[in-house]
Amino acid sequence: MSSFAGSLRGVNEPQTDQSGKVHAPPVVYLPVETDAEGQVSDFKMIKLADGRVALLGYTALDRFIDSWGDYQPWLLFDTHRLSEIHDVKPFDLKLLDVAVPEEYRPGPPQEVGS
């Protein structure tokens, strides 16, 4: 789990209606870890300076790539199912469209020598 709380930029405040109900996009792009076969093995989260854990979601693929770079695997996920992730890997809050500092972005995959 990454910890770059002091560097968070571009955090979008949730959109609410007059009743205070939060509006969420129907789907979000999530940063993930993948295994050797390319299957999702984990959801990437960040630990904030205050100890809370955040799940990062992105409202569009171009925002995801702008934030994570070209080499970060992603999964398009239904927003109404985020509780399923929380059930297996708890988090304290969800953040949208957060810019990720360069030093936390993955580089190109390394070739395995034979």
Domain boundaries, the chain: 5-101
Kindly report the pTM of this predicted structure.
0.79
> Which pLDDT tens digit goes with each residue over 10-57?
455 555 556 655 578 999 999 999 999 999 999 999 999 999 999 999
> What is the C-alpha R_g of the chain?
15
> Which pLDDT tens digit goes with each residue over 88-112?
999 999 999 999 989 889 988 776 6
Q: Rounded distance, CA 20 to CA 34, Å? A: 37
Q: Rounded distance, CA 114 to CA 99, Å? A: 37
- The sign of the CA dihedral 66, 110, 104, 82 is positive
